[in-house]
């Protein structure tokens, strides 16, 4: 016997699924994909692995992208859309760097049904960064913090301490530009091992000034190779309101080798880095509506089955 749900029950089921999805949180990720270009995207296994990583996230920052004509990112977007069945968009910086052979972009891939871009800002102060941050302001009615700014940074290893410190100047600039202190810094800071030591922290304002919370801690390993155990990749947020809008203990390293069952050899074809991520809490209105709609949906479905007996 085939069960056929009435239109009302189907509608309630759809609403319930959306609410459950929204209540689960909003995932922001950052991943250094190391020289992501057309050659890499043309490798089917590499594309499939990155598709599965990016598809988990509502917003995913990619660093180390070398794709000035946008073809490699376009192919990745198509792959993610097919795999996840969401609508995705991307926003990218220009190619950044001091060497013509090592120009890189910051690329944000985001679910357009969950979040939108309300502004972008390229930090322009000369000689502050090798790859200056490209700040993006996002807005979402699905999150407790409806409007927030993401500031990416892929430091030059030899200048990691100075560049991390200068993020404070970027913070001041974007705060004034958008009148918004809900700012998150994320990316491959090289903030560990030989590039940044405990002694260096006193020279970094994101450590010495109040209000900044480092969510990826020093003992977390964000690398794939066994010979390294370093927290290069970080997530830092400013302010108590933003911190309260983040799910407790959700900031972590995503070890996709274990979760997606990818071998170390195949993982290294993508990058020697592991993604880092954090979850934003769902909006209060969504969470308040969930219990009532859940009860209505379950009641309608139960009544339908009882009447069909």
Does residue 187 share a domain with residue 126? Answer: yes
Q: What are phi and psi of 63, to 5 degrees?
A: -120, 165
Distance CA(148)–CA(165), nearest Å, equals 21
Does residue 79 share a domain with residue 15? Answer: no
pTM: 0.86
How much is the pLDDT for 85? 81
Does residue 199 share a domain with residue 67? Answer: yes
- Counting the structural domains of the chain, the total is 2
Does residue 119 share a domain with residue 130? Answer: yes
How much is the pLDDT for 84? 84
Does residue 229 share a domain with residue 151? Answer: yes
**pLDDT tens for each residue of 60-119:** 999 999 999 999 999 999 999 998 888 999 999 999 999 999 999 999 999 999 999 999
Does residue 187 share a domain with residue 164? Answer: yes
User: How would residue 309 be classed by pLDDT, with cut points 50, 70 and 90?
Assistant: low
Angle formed at CA 191 by CA 227 and CA 249, multiple of 5 degrees: 95
The CATH number assigned to the domain holding 237 equals: 3.60.10.10
**pLDDT tens for each residue of 160-219:** 999 999 999 999 999 999 999 999 999 999 999 999 999 999 999 999 999 999 999 999
> What mean pLDDT do residues 294-304 have?
53
- Mean per-residue pLDDT of the chain: 89
Does residue 144 share a domain with residue 293? Answer: no
- 143: domain range? 25-281
Cβ contacts of 223 within 8 Å, gap of 6 or more: 229, 230, 232, 272, 273, 274
CB 196 within 8 Å of CB 189: yes
Distance CA(204)–CA(168), nearest Å, equals 9
Does residue 46 share a domain with residue 18? Answer: no
Does residue 305 share a domain with residue 178? Answer: no
User: How would residue 122 be classed by pLDDT, with cut points 50, 70 and 90?
Assistant: very high
Does residue 44 share a domain with residue 20? Answer: no
Does residue 297 share a domain with residue 203? Answer: no
Does residue 307 share a domain with residue 195? Answer: no
**pLDDT tens for each residue of 223-245:** 999 999 999 999 999 999 999 99
81, 127, 148, 202, 296 from 84: Cα distances, Å: 5, 40, 25, 44, 28
């Amino acid at each position: 016997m085939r069960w056929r749900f009435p239109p009302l029950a189907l509608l309630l089921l759809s609403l319930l699924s959306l609410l459950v999805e929204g209540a689960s949180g909003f995932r922001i990720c950052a991943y250094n994909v190391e020289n992501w270009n057309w050659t890499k995207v043309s490798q089917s296994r590499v594309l499939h692995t990155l598709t599965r990583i990016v598809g988990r996230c509502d917003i995913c920052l990619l660093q180390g992208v070398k794709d000035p004509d946008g073809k490699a990112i376009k192919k990745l977007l198509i792959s993610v859309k097919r795999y996840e069945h969401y609508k995705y968009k991307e926003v990218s910086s220009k190619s950044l760097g001091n060497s013509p052979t090592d120009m890189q972009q910051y690329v944000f891939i985001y679910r357009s049904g969950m979040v939108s871009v309300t502004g972008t800002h390229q930090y322009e102060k000369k000689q502050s960064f090798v790859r200056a941050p490209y700040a993006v302001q996002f807005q979402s009615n699905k999150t407790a913090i409806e409007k927030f700014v993401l500031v990416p940074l892929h430091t030059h290893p030899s200048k990691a301490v100075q560049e991390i410190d200068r993020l404070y100047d970027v913070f001041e600039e974007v705060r004034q530009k958008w009148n918004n202190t809900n700012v998150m810094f994320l990316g491959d800071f090289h903030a560990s091992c030989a590039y940044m030591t405990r002694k260096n922290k006193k020279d970094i304002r994101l450590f010495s000034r109040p209000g900044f919370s480092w969510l990826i801690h020093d003992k977390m390993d964000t690398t794939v190779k066994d010979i390294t155990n370093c927290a290069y990749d970080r997530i830092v947020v400013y302010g108590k309101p933003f911190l309260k809008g983040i799910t407790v203990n959700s900031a972590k390293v995503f070890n996709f080798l274990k979760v997606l069952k990818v071998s170390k050899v195949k993982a290294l074809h993508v990058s020697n880095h592991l993604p880092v991520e954090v979850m934003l809490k769902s909006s209060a209105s969504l969470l308040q509506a969930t219990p009532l709609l859940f009860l209505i949906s379950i009641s309608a479905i139960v009544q339908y089955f009882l009447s069909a007996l």
